[in-house]
């Protein structure tokens, strides 16, 4: 079903500012929010914020780029839900590799119910690290998530036979990362400052003890305060985002696919938890490549499941940076905002 919106005199700069604000809700590695937006009267630029890149945990910038891709997709969804036809140019200037994308609008477009649903999902989506329920994801739901991801990139759902190998790779990755003092100190930094700074992870969203699971989740190096119970992730399904290349554009597009999958999952009650350690440790990256059996390069593993109704509501929200820290509107005359 479509709702026609009448042409109106709203200015693109207002829409761009709204889209960049909505993109602040996007997921990011350790909640680093490694993006910066610059609003112009006629375009919106997305930059990588290298000061928030994980030097030890993400030296290539893959996780940064995935995060920025998710933010880019959130901005696209916000513009679509606001009735704007959008054109995106990724990496528009070879001379500036940190200018990741430029968005322009090509006039007004009808707002679809799907755009409205996804825009709503940007406001409620979150990472729930508690074990999933005993209820399996219905086949149709899994297909919807995979279809959404594949409209932007590639997602391979792993079979039950692959889980032991994924689980042992994730365990090995966690041990390698725990034994690396630089990665450990980065984790300490990003898990110790969220309440004050609006970036990083507060204790309230981290499990109070490791959860029972076939595939170990990230070891954050410290227990949190999130009660996790004794459930086991038996019904969880695992999937890999992947693609042909292994460079910044591939990762940015994979981030858009991550957002598309996660927002669709949110609309149908499917919980998503990314597992990035297993991609960042070289030896376990090769295991994922093997699991993909020649399909392509792995970018991110995902745990999918139905959140446990026994848990009392969603976990607390992870904070965000102040809008002024990530959005620069100084290029827009005041009467256009």
Ligand X SMILES: Cc1cc2nc3c(=O)[nH]c(=O)nc-3n(C[C@H](O)[C@H](O)[C@H](O)COP(=O)(O)O)c2cc1C
Q: Which residues bind ligand X (CB under 6 A)?
A: 27-31, 63, 66-67, 70, 126-127, 129, 201, 217-218, 273-277, 300, 318
Task: Between 126 and 172, name the residue whose CB sits nearer to ligand X.
Answer: 126
Q: Which residue is nearest to ligand X (CB)?
A: 27
Structure tokens, 272: 């998503």
Q: How far is the CB of 82 from ligand X (least distance, A)?
A: 22
Cβ neighbours for 185, distance < 8 A, ≥ 6 positions apart: 56
CA distance 296 to 208: 36
Write down the least CB distance from residue 278 to ligand X, Å. 8
Length of the chain: 337
Question: Which is closer to ligand X, CB of 27 or CB of 243?
Answer: 27
Q: Which of 330, 319, 310, 334 is nearest to 131 (CA)?
A: 310
- How far is it, in rounded angstroms, from Cα 57 to Cα 34? 14
Calpha distance 242→113 (Å, rounded): 29
Q: CB nearer to ligand X: give 217 or 284.
A: 217
- Is the CB of residue 97 less than 8 Å from the CB of residue 91? yes
Considering the complex, state which of residue 31 and residue 311 has its C-beta at the smaller distance from ligand X. Answer: 31
Q: How far is the CB of 335 from ligand X (least distance, A)?
A: 34
Tell me the CB-side half-sphere exposure of residue 232, using CA atoms within 13 A: 2
In the complex, minimum distance from the CB of residue 40 to ligand X, in angstroms, rounded to a whole number: 26
CB of 67 to ligand X, least distance (A): 4
| Residue number, 102 or 276, with CB nearest to ligand X | 276
Q: Is the CB of 12 or the CB of 274 nearer to ligand X?
A: 274
Instruction: Indicate the residue among 81 and 252 with the shorter CB distance to ligand X.
Output: 252
Q: Rounded CA gap, 188 and 175, in Å? A: 16
CB of 144 to ligand X, least distance (A): 20
- Residue 322 phi, psi dihedral angles, 5° rounding: -65, 145
- Minimum distance from residue 236 beta carbon to ligand X (Å): 13
Q: Which of 83, 79, 125, 121 is nearest to 101 (CA)?
A: 79
| Short-list 103, 75, 71, CA closest to 89 | 103
């Amino acid at each position: 079903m479509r709702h026609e919106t009448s042409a109106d005199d709203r200015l693109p700069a207002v829409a761009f500012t709204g889209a960049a604000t909505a993109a602040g809700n996007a997921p990011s590695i350790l909640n680093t929010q490694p993006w910066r937006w610059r609003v112009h009267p006629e375009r919106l630029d997305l930059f990588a914020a290298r000061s928030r890149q994980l030097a030890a945990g993400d030296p290539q910038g893959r996780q940064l780029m995935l995060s920025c891709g998710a933010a880019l997709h959130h901005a696209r969804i916000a513009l679509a839900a606001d009735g704007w036809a959008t054109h995106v140019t990724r990496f528009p200037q070879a001379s500036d590799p940190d200018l990741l994308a430029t968005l322009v609008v090509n006039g007004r477009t009808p707002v679809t119910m799907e755009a409205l649903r996804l825009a709503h999902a940007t406001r409620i989506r979150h990472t729930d690290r508690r074990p999933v329920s005993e209820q399996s994801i219905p086949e149709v739901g899994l297909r919807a998530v995979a279809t959404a991801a594949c409209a932007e990139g590639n997602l391979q759902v792993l079979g039950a036979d692959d889980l032991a190998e994924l689980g042992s790779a994730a365990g090995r990755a966690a041990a390698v990362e725990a034994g690396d003092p630089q990665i450990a100190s980065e984790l300490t930094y990003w898990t110790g400052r969220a309440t004050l700074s609006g970036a990083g992870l507060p204790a309230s969203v981290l499990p109070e003890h490791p959860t029972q699971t076939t595939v170990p989740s990230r070891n954050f190096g410290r227990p949190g305060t999130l009660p996790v119970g004794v459930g086991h992730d038996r019904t969880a399904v695992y999937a890999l985002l992947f693609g042909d290349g292994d460079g910044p554009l591939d990762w940015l597009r994979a981030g858009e696919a991550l957002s598309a999958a996660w927002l669709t999952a949110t609309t149908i009650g499917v919980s998503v938890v990314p597992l990035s350690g297993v991609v960042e440790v070289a030896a376990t990256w090769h295991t994922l490549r093997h699991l993909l059996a020649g399909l392509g390069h792995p970018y991110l593993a995902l745990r999918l499941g139905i959140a446990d109704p026994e848990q009392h509501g969603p976990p607390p929200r992870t904070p965000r940076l102040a809008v002024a820290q990530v959005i620069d509107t100084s290029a827009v005359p005041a009467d256009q905002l």
